[in-house]
Each structure stands twice: as C-alpha cells, then as structure tokens.
Structure 1
Amino acid sequence: MIYPSLSQAKALSEGYDLVPVAYEMLADTHTPINLFLSMKETESSCFLLESVDNGEQWGRYSFIGMDSKAEIKIKDFVVTVKENNMKIQQRIDNPIQYITDYLNQYKSPKVENIPKLSGGLVGYFAYDTVRYMEKKLVNAPEDDLEMPDSHFMVCNEIIAFDHFRQRLLIIVNVPVNGDFDKNYSEATLRAGEIAQKIKMAVPKHKPKQTTGELSFSSNLTKEKFIENVEIAKEHIRKGDIFQVVLSQRFVAENAPDSFDVYRMLRATNPSPYLYYFKFSNYHIAGASPEMLVSVEDGTISTRPIAGTIKRGKTEKEDKELENLLISDLKERAEHTMLVDLGRNDVGKVSRFGSVEVTSFMQVEKYSQVMHLVSDVKGKLSEHKTGLDALMAVLPAGTLSGAPKVRAMEIIDELENEKRGLYGGTVGYISFDGDIDTCIAIRTVLFKDNKAYVQAGAGIVADSVPEREFEETENKAKAMLKAIEEARGI
C-alpha cells in the first residue's frame, strides 16, 4: 500500500518543496537489528535510531537511514558538502546559518500516518559547536580526536518500523518542482525497489576480529580529577560560577565491533535515545537518557537531568538509595539551579509567558544509576526555528554549568582535550521543521581501533571530590561493561 495518493500528495504540496510518500508492508519477519545488519556493510554512512520508554517499553518507531542524498560536515568554520558524487568545501563565518539556509530548500508538510522523521538531517552537533556562537570561548583545549564539529546525513529516504502496528514504512520524498506526476511515480518506484531489497535481505554480520587484550585507561588520574574539583570549588567560592560539570574520558584499546557494542547497550541499558551511526572513518553507539531539545508543532521541550546515584543490588537497597537521592539537599539544589537555566535557555526563543515546568524532580531509573528529572516547555516564537531552539540550549546546563559561558571557560582551562561529541547533541532535524535531539552522554565513539567513553559530574560549593570522581565512574560503567561484553558476542 502506498500513501498519500497522487491526488492527495498534490493537494499537500502547496507551498512546500517535498512531499513524503510511504510504501507500507508487513514487518513481522524483520527486526531493526537484522535489517540493519543486512544493509550496513554496503553503505559508507548509515544510521539506526531506536527508543525505549522508562527503561522497559520499546518506543513506537525505529528508523533506519541508508543511501543519504548528501552529507554535511562542519569543522573549524569550514563546511564540507558531499552530494551527487561531488565534494564542495567553503569557509563560512556562520556555519549554523548555513544549515538553516540548506534546510529552507527542503520544506515538507506533515502527512497523516507518516512518522515525524520522514526525511531530514540526521547526525550530531558536537559540544564545541558552541564556539561558533559564543566568541568568548577562544582557548579551546587540544583537538586530539579531530572530530567534525557537526556531521549530518541528508536523508531523502527513511525506513521506519512501526512496532505498534507491525508494519514497515519505506518513506521517499517527492520533489514538488518539475513534473509532479512523474516525480511521484519515480518516488513510488524507488520505494518499491527498496521493498524488494528488504524482502530479499539476509543479515550479514562479521564481527571484527580483535587481537590483543582489551584495556581501559583514563585521560586523568584520580588525583588530577580531584585537583580539578578543588580548583572548580575555588571558582565557586570566589563567585565566578555556581556550578560546573567536569569530566574524564576513558579509552579502550583493541575495541570490539562497534555494532556489537550497540547491541549490548540496547540490551543492558535500554534508554529513550538509542542510536548507532556508521560514518566513513568513525562510528558512534549511544544510549542516552536525556533529551536536549524536542520541537513538535511549535512546542519546545527540554528535560534537565541532574542528580545521580547508583542503583541498589536489591529492591530494598534500591528504594533506600532512591530516598537518599530525593532527600539530598546538594542534589536538589543543583537540580533546581539547572532547571532554572533550562527555563532561561528555552525562554530565549519562546513566546513571552509560555515557558513552564510541567514536571519537577521525578526519579528515573536506568541499569546502573537513577536520576532526578524535570520537564520544561515553551511555545516557539513566531520568527524562530527549531534549529534556533536547539542552539539556544546547546550545550545543556547539565553538561556545562551555571552561569553557562563562564563555566565553559573553566572547563576549557581544566580539561586537557576538546570534548568533541561528549556533551553535544545527537538526533534529527526533520524537513517538516520538527526536531528531536538528545544529549550525547552514555555514548561510545569508535575511531582508529579505540573506543572512547566520557562522563562527568556537577561540581557545586559543597561537593566532595571523591564522590564526584565516583559519579563519573558510575555513569561510564554501563558503556565500559557493554564494550567488555561485546567481545563475547
């Protein structure tokens, strides 16, 4: 079944550049994992997005992206676009505006029964993207990983699993310009071709042959991390800041296959944002619990997570630790401060008086830790875009501090290397204007036979340095465990 029909698509096309059409087929013999395995080896770039609600129920949709129309990379104000077998590089003073202008060429309507990711930009903005907007951040640490500041696939075709209806949707976008009837026919033919590939798909997975012992190390000793905490507390005592998030980065030598690590993460640490990206020279696997920004039908949402404690070994201990977290004055004060920062960030791009906290300081539990969580919402101002909302919040206060800019300056002074992906955002910007992004935490970067995991802790006036160090270890534990266990798949 294909929808919308030609006549319906024509009616929807008024004022737009693209119209998504969907080829629907039964999906009861396929899973996102086995379909992705059958296709990823032939693609230089591809992705898989999944979701688990409250750590126990799979979200309605999983998305696969293959054969992207183009790729956009930004690094040090240089924008590189690969499209139609051509690569164009140009230095641009405002790379974020470039993304906005690019998206303005591809506006599409919302179509009934087609999920909100029907095509668009899928990828990430690194933590260091903030340097394009905040000119005070001039003393960047060493760029040892040499990651792009942003990297997006431009997806004209999306494969969506509807887990609720046991259906698979092959979504192809029809260009409005030119002969619409012909464009519609070509799009439906293309969807049919993809459907045939799916019917013939056989999972192909050759786990990476790892040699040598798996070993972990950190870019900081415990003593150095504790010293950094004391320096941060001195800044707080002097009134420079109220809070700052300091991190350490773990590296695993002789890393296992990146997709096997993703499989372990989704099994052992199911999260609202599960993602796997294969780019030409690096891969990303993540299980983030924390939304950065969602924009849907003009409503902006952000979801600060601040306040963390480990899970208990028994139900009784788990409840005791939950009560300890809820009653911890330091954690509550830190959480309240970061909710206020989230309100201020959302307020920059929201209609006056529309910002509200819709849920405050709830406990959410994950495989290794539990968190305090709140929800902040606002209505997007008339002349602002979803990308404006994303840039207003990036990086989240929960990964930087307050006041945000001064906290980021202190992070630059105390952390030896650029954060890169850690603390940035992963997700999509749909052609219909909606956005869904998470904070790039609980994420593993694979590059040059190594796996990198970074985790941080919020430092406030009464922080105990040893406890903050332990918090970073607890947050990294699920990823490090997944890396270890993936070698046994």
Structure 2
Amino acid sequence: MISHYPLPYPLNASQVFEQLRALGGAVILDSCQPHSRFGRYDLISAAPARSARLSSNGLEIRESASDWHVTDEDPFTLLQQWLNTLGPVHDPVPPFNGGLIGYFSYDLGRHLEHLPSHATADLSLPDLQLGLYLQAVIIDHETQTSRLVVHSDAAPEIVEQFLTLLGQPTSVSVKPAFHLRSSFNSNMTAMDYQQALEKIHAYIQAGDCYQINLAQRFSAAYEGDPWQAWCLLKAAAPTPFAAYIELDQDAVLSLSPERFLFCDPEGKAETRPIKGTRPRGDTPETDQQLATELLQSEKDRAENVMIVDLLRNDLSKVCQPGSVKVPELFQLESYPNVHHLVSSVTGQLEAHYSPLDLIRACFPGGSITGAPKIRAMEIIDELEPQRRSAYCGSIAYISACGQMDSSITIRTLVCHQQQIHCWAGGGIVADSQIPAEYAETFSKVNNLLNTLEATLELKN
C-alpha cells in the first residue's frame, strides 16, 4: 500500500521544495537540522489530490487542480472521511504515509465556540486550509535517510513528475527577489498596549480570568517572492517547527519553536506549551544569568502551571481516564534570540477518538489564549484591533498511519495582498509589569523583523 523510493542523504529540504514547487500546493515542514536539536524530520510535498478551505463562502473543496466548490459538511468530519479512505496504513516507517498537511487559523475557534466579533477581519485568508497529499519526501535526521513515500492511491503521473523533478538539478528561481517596501509598523502604540494591559489587570482583579495572551501585529509592504523571505528567516531563526505553506495568492511563513499536539500511531498524545521567556544575553555570563532568572521566576512558573492545568483538562476530553500526566515541568529550551520555559503534558487517546478529535478538543492552544480559555478569547477579541488569522493557530500533518504532529503558529508571518504581517504576544497575569511585557514582545520577533528590514536597506 505504501512505496518507498530511496533518496540521497543528506538532502537539502529547501532545494527539494524548489524542485517540486511548480506542481502547486507546495508545503515544507522543516526541523532546521542541524541547527535545531529538537526536530527530527523534514517533510516536503506538493500537488495535493484534494484540498479543503474554510473561507467566507463556507467550506470549499477542490479535487486536484479543478475549481473550488462549496459543501455544507462539517470541516472535521470531511477531513476525517478523507483520511479514512487511505487506510488504516500499517507502515513501519512513520511519520507520514499520505494524509493531511496544512494549517488551522486561530480564528477557526470562532467556528467551534460562540465568540464576539469586535476585532476587524482585515485579512481574507481561509480559517482552515489543508490538502490531502499522497506523496511526500521525508528526510529523517535521526536515521540519516531520505525517501519519497508514496501511497497506493497516488496518481501515477504525479509520482512520475516527482521522481523526474527530484532527479534534476535545482533550477534558478525566475521569481522577483523579495524585499520590503516599508519598515514594519505596529497596530498598537505603547500607550495602546498599556491601556490594554490595564484592562486585563482589571479583568483579573474582577475574577474574569487568570491569564490573557495579548499580541500586537507588525506590518510592512513588500515585493517579490515570499519563499525567499522564509529562507532568510530560517537562516536567522532555526526552529524545530519551521514551515512554509504556499496558498493560491498568499503564503504562511512559520518559524515556530512550539509543539501544539503530537500523536503516535498507538494514540499516545503530547503537548508542549511554552510559557516564560527571556532574551539571550550578549555574553556567556549574561546569557546564563538570564536563563537562571527565567528558571527561578515565580511569576513565569505560575504562568506556566496555569496553562499546564488548562491543557490537562483539554487532553482529558479525549484521553483515557487517569492517563493524562505531566512528565516535564519548567524545562529550559534556548533558541537564537530567546530562552523559553517549556512543560510537557501527555495522555492516551480513547480508542474511538482520532488525532483530528484531539485537535478539535484542544483548539486553539491554551498557551496562546490564556485561562479560562473561552473568556480569554473573548477578552482578546475585545482588546486586539485585528483578528489573528493564521497566527496562534496550528500547522500540522496528520498521516494515514495515525501519526500527527503540529505546531503553535507563533513566530509566524502571513503574506497577503503585498503586505507581510508578523505578530508577537505574551501571557499577562496579575503581577505582570507593563514595561517588561511590552519589551518581551519585541525580544521575541526582533530578529525576524530586523532580518526582513535588511532587505529594505539593500533595495535602497
């Protein structure tokens, strides 16, 4: 049912993407090896057999490269039906044996819960877009192997195109070079941010919530190929959940360090929330001091525990009673620009639930909403000027063999109508200090913004 075509190792994932990109619907999930020690696989594909998106028209589906048409089916039910047609697949070589790849936007939460609509919906990207991919290049950095994995339902002509393109040298891109046409500007001034935090503190004091994740959005005009922007960003900020998803006219560029949900073929689930951040230091001594400060911070540890408790509850909706555990609490993970405080929550899925059920039960991730989740989302909608779109949603693959991995789309940018948008946020609790929280948002994305603003200087 599954065919494996060996490929050379090492294999450059970005070059593979460029070879396959012309087939349409190209996606890459890149673990940024060897610069990121937390990832294992790179996954690259194109030419989905089917695609689904949830837009202002409703749920739309497309077969291969035909036109989109509207259906009245539930998105999760439809996607599960597509997966069911492929299997089950019992392949001893996970992670991906044909299945779904794509993104779930933060605003998909509006289709799962009744929420207000104060924030402006100024980006018209779909709230969900996934393709059914029946062939993919998998690079495994642990076993140091590469292969083209093909499901038996894949169209023979598409497989032949993959093999032909993979056997050719990478062609030089004819698309115009990426560059910014303006500097990044935020949708919130320092005063706006202060007033929003003051309102959050008032909600906390009134007992409405315990924690709110507040974000600001940075936007700039650009020209050229967004793929080139992602390549620049990946070099500046290698992370284990880097991803690039090409849409019809737009693109999602993600450099996320955070796992949302993982599920293996036996139903063992895990989520790894990030709560707690410090910038990296300029010297080894300062860097270690900042890391130690984060590990010992009562405020950050309390913030982390709040979200761990929320996620324990979310996993319990679909996991066996008594199986939900917290094997890791307050672990330090360090990236080029920040230190993070990370915990792990695990559980065993009930036999009648699928990875898609796990996503539905936990979406959106509690680490980027606050607690309690629904009230936090209501307050976010009140205080953030625009909706979040793909930011703080999830990018995922869900395989026919039952394995799933997904990210929280932080450190994620959206290219839409010649504007590029980048968000940064942080969890606000009762003892949050406004200047420190405001500065933290910049420390999270300054390396991304500065990398792209360098293209503005080069153009000028």
TM-score normalised by the chain length of structure 1 = 0.88
Whether contact under 8 Å (1:21, 1:172) holds in the other structure is: yes
What SS does structure 2 have at the residue aligned with 1:475? helix
Whether contact under 8 Å (2:397, 2:404) holds in the other structure is: yes
Q: Distance in 1 between matches of 2:124 and 2:111?
A: 17
Q: Distance in 2 between matches of 1:324 and 1:166?
A: 37
Farther-moved stretch of structure 1 (282-291 vs 206-215) = 206-215
Q: Distance in 2 between matches of 1:160 and 1:332?
A: 37
Structure-2 change in CA distance of 1:486 and 1:154 (3 Å): farther
Task: Give ranges in structure 1 of 5+ residues lacking alignment.
Answer: 1-18, 176-182
Letter in 2 for 1:34: Q
Q: Which residue of 1 aligns with 2:258?
A: 290
Matched, 1:266 2:247: no
What SS does structure 2 have at the residue aligned with 1:200? coil
Letter in 2 for 1:127: Y
Whether contact under 8 Å (1:303, 1:374) holds in the other structure is: yes
Q: 1:220 aligns with which of 180, 184, 188?
A: 188
Whether contact under 8 Å (2:47, 2:64) holds in the other structure is: no
Whether contact under 8 Å (1:242, 1:403) holds in the other structure is: yes
Whether contact under 8 Å (1:355, 1:376) holds in the other structure is: yes
Structure 1 segment 145-224 matched on structure 2, within 5 A = 145-164=123-142, 167-175=145-153, 187=156, 191=159, 193-206=161-174, 208-209=176-177, 213-224=181-192
Farther-moved stretch of structure 1 (422-431 vs 234-243) = 422-431
Structure-2 change in CA distance of 1:76 and 1:198 (3 Å): same
Q: Distance in 2 between matches of 1:167 and 1:203?
A: 24
Whether contact under 8 Å (2:252, 2:390) holds in the other structure is: no
Q: Which residue of 2 aligns with 1:23?
A: 5
Shift of 1:77: 7.1
Shift of 1:204: 2.1
Shift of 1:61: 2.6
- How many corresponding residue pairs? 457
Task: Give ranges in structure 2 of 5+ residues lacking alignment.
Answer: none
Whether contact under 8 Å (2:107, 2:387) holds in the other structure is: yes
Whether contact under 8 Å (2:327, 2:346) holds in the other structure is: yes
Q: Which residue of 1 aligns with 2:107?
A: 128
Q: Distance in 2 between matches of 1:439 and 1:217?
A: 24
What SS does structure 2 have at the residue aligned with 1:391? helix
Shift of 1:363: 0.8
Whether contact under 8 Å (1:141, 1:417) holds in the other structure is: yes
Q: Identity over the aligned pairs, expressed in percent?
A: 31
Structure 1 segment 237-256 matched on structure 2, within 5 A = 237-254=205-222
Q: Which residue of 2 aligns with 1:465?
A: 434
Letter in 2 for 1:462: D
Matched, 1:36 2:17: yes
Q: Distance in 1 between matches of 2:237 and 2:373?
A: 30
Matched, 1:62 2:42: yes
Shift of 1:261: 2.1
Q: Distance in 1 between matches of 2:25 and 2:34?
A: 30
Letter in 2 for 1:264: L
Shift of 1:194: 2.7
Matched, 1:304 2:282: no
What SS does structure 2 have at the residue aligned with 1:277? strand
Q: Distance in 1 between matches of 2:180 and 2:14?
A: 28
Structure-2 change in CA distance of 1:338 and 1:55 (3 Å): farther
Q: Distance in 2 between matches of 1:295 and 1:54?
A: 24
What SS does structure 1 have at the residue aligned with 2:95? coil
What SS does structure 1 have at the residue aligned with 2:69? strand
Structure-2 change in CA distance of 1:156 and 1:258 (3 Å): same
Matched, 1:234 2:205: no
Q: Distance in 2 between matches of 1:140 and 1:389?
A: 29
After superposition, give the CA deviation of every residue in 1:108-152 in whole Å (9 maximum; x if it has no partner): 31312x3311211111000011112212x1325221011100011
Whether contact under 8 Å (1:35, 1:203) holds in the other structure is: no
Structure of larger gyration radius: 1
Whether contact under 8 Å (2:94, 2:403) holds in the other structure is: no
Q: Which residue of 1 aligns with 2:60?
A: 80
Letter in 2 for 1:337: M
Whether contact under 8 Å (1:294, 1:301) holds in the other structure is: yes
What SS does structure 1 have at the residue aligned with 2:344? strand
Q: Distance in 2 between matches of 1:139 and 1:390?
A: 23
Structure-2 change in CA distance of 1:98 and 1:52 (3 Å): same
Shift of 1:287: 1.1
Structure-2 change in CA distance of 1:190 and 1:426 (3 Å): closer
Q: Distance in 2 between matches of 1:85 and 1:47?
A: 16
What SS does structure 1 have at the residue aligned with 2:152? strand
Shift of 1:243: 0.6
Letter in 2 for 1:92: D
Q: Which residue of 1 aligns with 2:352?
A: 383
Farther-moved stretch of structure 1 (372-381 vs 54-63) = 54-63
Letter in 1 for 2:382: E
Whether contact under 8 Å (2:179, 2:455) holds in the other structure is: no
Q: 2:404 aligns with which of 435, 442, 451?
A: 435
Whether contact under 8 Å (1:359, 1:375) holds in the other structure is: yes
Shift of 1:466: 1.6
Letter in 2 for 1:22: H
Q: 2:28 aligns with which of 34, 48, 52?
A: 48
Q: Distance in 2 between matches of 1:293 and 1:77?
A: 29
Q: Distance in 1 between matches of 2:409 and 2:356?
A: 17
Shift of 1:210: 5.7
Structure-2 change in CA distance of 1:375 and 1:26 (3 Å): same
Whether contact under 8 Å (2:91, 2:401) holds in the other structure is: no
Q: Distance in 2 between matches of 1:140 and 1:420?
A: 14
Whether contact under 8 Å (1:126, 1:423) holds in the other structure is: yes
Farther-moved stretch of structure 1 (308-317 vs 213-222) = 213-222
What SS does structure 2 have at the residue aligned with 1:21? strand
Shift of 1:360: 0.7
Whether contact under 8 Å (2:391, 2:413) holds in the other structure is: no
After superposition, give the CA deviation of every residue in 1:190-214 in whole Å (9 maximum; x if it has no partner): 6455323211233322453467743
Q: Distance in 2 between matches of 1:192 and 1:43?
A: 12
Letter in 2 for 1:90: V
Whether contact under 8 Å (1:95, 1:132) holds in the other structure is: no
After superposition, give the CA deviation of every residue in 1:149-193 in whole Å (9 maximum; x if it has no partner): 001121011122234555431222114xxxxxxx9xx85x86455
Q: Distance in 2 between matches of 1:205 and 1:124?
A: 26
Structure-2 change in CA distance of 1:212 and 1:260 (3 Å): closer
Structure-2 change in CA distance of 1:150 and 1:463 (3 Å): same
Structure-2 change in CA distance of 1:399 and 1:174 (3 Å): same
